[in-house]
Amino acid sequence: MTVNSTSRSAVALTRRELAGVALGGGAALAAAHLLATPATAQVRDGLAAIARSRGILFGSMTSEKSLDDSAFRQLLRAQCDITGPINAFKWHVMSRASPRQDFSVVDRFVSIARKSGFLVRGHTLLWDKPQMLPKWVMAGSLRDPAEWEQALRARIDQVCGRFAGQIAIWDVVNEALKFNGRPVNGPFAQALGERIFDIAFDAAHSNDPRATLIYNDYVMPEYPRMQDGILALLTGLRERGVPCQGLGIQGHVSRLASDSQYRQWRQFLAAVADLGLRIMITELDVTDTDLPAEASIRDVEGADLLGRFLEETLAERAVSAVMTWGLADRYEGLSYYRPRADGTKRRPTPFDTSLAPKPAYDALRQALADAPSR
Ligand code: XIL
């Protein structure tokens, strides 16, 4: 694949057409509607343009404060078709002592992003873990299942109602399973069981029928029992008619899996696709905790891990979108997680702190260019 033929085919597919391919169904209409407004629906010679030439939607989630940095914003626009806030939509961030939700940060983020021509992904409506829930929820005021259900519906009604037609993808439920495939069984699941999925997806869908709704989790090739758990969960959602249209694979890459694990991974992806679901990589980055200290060596090893994961995953044509968790190390958001023993800063994203491309950028470029067309 030459650079020339990449950019020629990129020109052939507009962002509007791509969003239709990548998101499908009602979301295609939503995407067309979104993209009709901004004047910036131009082809860019960045990662998004290469991805688009393969029918893949590419973008990056980013921290709220990164949008105030004009050099960074320019990079984001050059590389991405979709973005979204890393933390601002989380329930415990929007609401603390009372059920009232603070929309100031998300209003601003969504408005800037849409004016700049991005599709927007919302992350996340329900992350059922005590530390990811508002203090008032954890304070014990919700007494019976009806009250837990009402609290969840109110949260989602308010958020999805306010942004109806403006969010291309919603992560409706986040991380409900453990690595062993068993349910996390957080506070809402304790009160409502599996109905948390039915309630959350139903509330999101009825408030914003055009958004693509996904279940998002940490599943990776090295966690086969989690793959089984997710398949069982998604099969149940399909059987119950829950309006979930896709699986988000976070993609925090930390090590090489074995060849047999990658073979099983491809079967897992095919099985998810057979359920009629779309698959998206939603939080791609390198967890470089255990990689060598020397930055140049670490970046090359991290890029190799990333490249292999992408190659294996993008081989499945149902994988319709790739989003990184932060675009540049200037604004990476996960260094508190598994910090390095040598105390050096983590380097998880494709661009460095001066916004220069790293080997991970080349790996992404290559993997997107080599991906079979959708
Ligand atoms: C993380 C953010 O990166 C941090 O800034 C924040 O302190 C905690 O959450 N899985 C997810 C993300 O779905 O929401 C998490 O993001 C990373 C793991």
pLDDT digits 0-9 by tens, 294-325:
999 999 999 999 999 999 999 999 999 999 99
* 53 CA distance to ligand 1 middle (Å): 30
Q: Is 63 in the pocket of ligand 1 (CB under 6 A)?
A: no
pLDDT (0 to 100) of residue 40: 39
Q: Is 87 in the pocket of ligand 1 (CB under 6 A)?
A: yes
Burial of 41 (0-12, 13-18, 19+ CB in 10 A): middle
pLDDT (0 to 100) of residue 248: 98
pLDDT (0 to 100) of residue 18: 58
Q: Is 334 in the pocket of ligand 1 (CB under 6 A)?
A: yes
Q: Is 333 in the pocket of ligand 1 (CB under 6 A)?
A: yes
Closest among 322, 326, 336, 329 to 298, alpha carbons compared: 329
Q: Is 181 in the pocket of ligand 1 (CB under 6 A)?
A: no
* 43 CA distance to ligand 1 middle (Å): 31
* 283 CA distance to ligand 1 middle (Å): 9
pLDDT (0 to 100) of residue 17: 55
Residue of 62, 63, 87 to test ligand 1 pocket, by largest number of atoms within 8 Å of CB: 87
* 196 CA distance to ligand 1 middle (Å): 21
pLDDT tens digits for range 261-288: 999 999 999 999 999 999 999 999 999 9
Atom of ligand 1 nearest to the CA of 216: 13
Q: Is 287 in the pocket of ligand 1 (CB under 6 A)?
A: no
Rounded to whole angstroms, the Cα distance separating 335 from 74 reads 24
Confidence band for 8, pLDDT divided at 50, 70 and 90? very low
Tokens 């919603």 found at:
170
28 pLDDT above the threshold of 90: no
pLDDT (0 to 100) of residue 42: 44
Peptide bond between residue 212 and the one before it cis (omega within 30 degrees of 0)? no
pLDDT tens digits for range 92-103: 999 999 999 999
Closest among 59, 10, 285 to 169, alpha carbons compared: 59
* 121 CA distance to ligand 1 middle (Å): 15
Q: Is 254 in the pocket of ligand 1 (CB under 6 A)?
A: no
Instruction: Share the mean pLDDT of the chain.
Output: 91
* 171 CA distance to ligand 1 middle (Å): 13
Closest among 51, 48, 56, 39 to 75, alpha carbons compared: 48
HSE-up of residue 204 (Cα within 13 Å, Cβ side): 28
Rounded to whole angstroms, the Cα distance separating 292 from 307 reads 18
Q: Is 314 in the pocket of ligand 1 (CB under 6 A)?
A: no
pLDDT (0 to 100) of residue 36: 38
- Which range, 38-52, 208-222, 323-337, has the best average confidence (pLDDT)? 208-222
216 pLDDT above the threshold of 70: yes
Give the C-alpha distances (Å, rounded to integers) separating 17 from 10, 164, 211. 11, 21, 16
Q: Is 86 in the pocket of ligand 1 (CB under 6 A)?
A: yes
Q: Is 166 in the pocket of ligand 1 (CB under 6 A)?
A: no
φ, ψ (nearest 5 deg) of residue 286: -110, 120
Q: Is 219 in the pocket of ligand 1 (CB under 6 A)?
A: no
pLDDT tens digits for range 115-172: 999 999 999 999 999 999 999 999 999 999 999 999 999 999 999 999 999 999 999 9
pLDDT tens digits for range 46-73: 999 999 999 999 999 999 999 999 999 9
pLDDT (0 to 100) of residue 35: 44
Q: Is 302 in the pocket of ligand 1 (CB under 6 A)?
A: no
